[in-house]
């Protein structure tokens, strides 16, 4: 897992305009905005939209393609609420705290309701839930508190029997257990991973490593 994370980071560092740097830019501006008494919601929404586009959330028939970047402003405003300060750069061990789980669940619920409303305004009522891939990509891009549960990440954690591929607290706690069991090695790796003046969050290390494993599994098939 560490090999794939390091390889991912090295490739990113070799290309100053890599699409994966969109995550770094987004994470940094949301970090800075949490300390700004008058954050620029328009600017932050543009960053979030471009990052999501770079990470594949505007492809195909996605309802997001029907709207401009400002559709994310209510989500940005919610993300910057001080109730969620505890989620920024979250360390894995903190996931066991009830107040952390409650904050995460509350934020997820808000985003699901909001994006469902946006989707319904584009396509009419839809029975399926909003994609957890969208929700988790917003969370990792702005707070770094969970991995992005996309195709390759879930394939990676399933192949290693680390956690279920279903996004839920039990799966996140399994990932937290994995990080703690390999804490020294993972932290030694993480100290070399920088986004501007910040260290990559622990969940981003897991995201990169297991995504790489999942991609390798697909290529080997």
Closest residue by Cα to residue 8 from 212, 186, 216:
212
Token duo for residue 11:
């490739």
Is the model's pLDDT at 221 over the cut of 80?
no
Q: Confidence band (pLDDT; 50, 70, 90) for 16?
A: confident
Q: Confidence band (pLDDT; 50, 70, 90) for 119?
A: very high
Q: pLDDT tens digits for 20-64?
A: 899 999 999 999 999 999 999 999 999 999 999 999 999 888 999
Q: Confidence band (pLDDT; 50, 70, 90) for 101?
A: very high
Q: pLDDT tens digits for 170-217?
A: 999 999 999 999 999 999 999 999 988 899 999 999 999 999 999 998
- Alpha-helical (H) ranges within 19-163 are 21-33, 41-54, 73-79, 98-123, 132-142, 151-159
* pLDDT value, residue 218: 78
Q: Confidence band (pLDDT; 50, 70, 90) for 220?
A: confident
Residue tagged 């969050």 (tokens): 201
Q: At a CB cut-off of 8 Å and minimum separation 6, what does 216 contact?
A: 4
Share of the chain above pLDDT 90, in %: 86
Q: Label residue 38 exposed, middle or buried (CB < 10 Å: 0-12, 13-18, 19+).
A: exposed
Q: Mean per-residue pLDDT for 82-110?
A: 97
Q: At a CB cut-off of 8 Å and minimum separation 6, what does 201 contact?
A: 27, 89, 90, 91, 144, 145
Token duo for residue 10:
């090295």
Q: What is the mean pLDDT of the chain?
A: 95
* pLDDT value, residue 12: 86
Token duo for residue 72:
């994310």
Token duo for residue 42:
């328009």
Task: Using a cut of 0.85, tell me whether the model's pTM lies above it.
Answer: yes
* pLDDT value, residue 128: 84
Whether 33 contacts 73, CB under 8 Å: no
Share of the chain above pLDDT 70, in %: 100
Q: Confidence band (pLDDT; 50, 70, 90) for 86?
A: very high
Q: At a CB cut-off of 8 Å and minimum separation 6, what does 20 contact?
A: 8, 12, 54
Token duo for residue 48:
């979030």
Q: Label residue 185 exposed, middle or buried (CB < 10 Å: 0-12, 13-18, 19+).
A: exposed
């Amino acid at each position: 897992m560490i090999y794939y994370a390091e390889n991912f980071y090295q490739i990113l560092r070799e290309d100053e305009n890599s699409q994966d740097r969109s995550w770094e830019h987004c994470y940094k501006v949301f970090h800075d905005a949490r300390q700004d008494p008058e954050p620029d919601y328009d600017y932050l929404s543009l960053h979030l939209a471009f990052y999501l586009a770079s990470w594949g959330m505007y492809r195909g028939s996605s309802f997001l393609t029907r709207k401009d970047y400002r559709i994310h402003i209510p989500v940005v405003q919610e993300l910057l609420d001080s109730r969620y300060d505890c989620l920024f750069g979250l360390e894995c061990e903190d996931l066991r705290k009830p107040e952390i789980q409650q904050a995460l669940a509350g934020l997820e619920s808000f985003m699901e309701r909001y994006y469902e409303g946006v989707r319904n305004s584009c396509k009419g009522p839809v029975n399926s839930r909003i994609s957890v891939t969208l929700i988790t990509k917003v969370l990792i891009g702005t707070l770094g508190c969970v991995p992005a549960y996309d195709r390759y990440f879930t394939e990676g954690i399933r192949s290693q029997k680390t956690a279920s591929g279903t996004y839920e607290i039990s799966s996140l706690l399994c990932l937290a257990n994995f990080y703690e069991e390999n804490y020294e090695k993972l932290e030694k790796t993480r100290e070399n991973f920088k986004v501007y003046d910040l260290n990559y969050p622990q969940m981003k290390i897991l995201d990169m490593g297991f995504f790489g494993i999942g991609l390798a599994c697909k290529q080997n098939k």
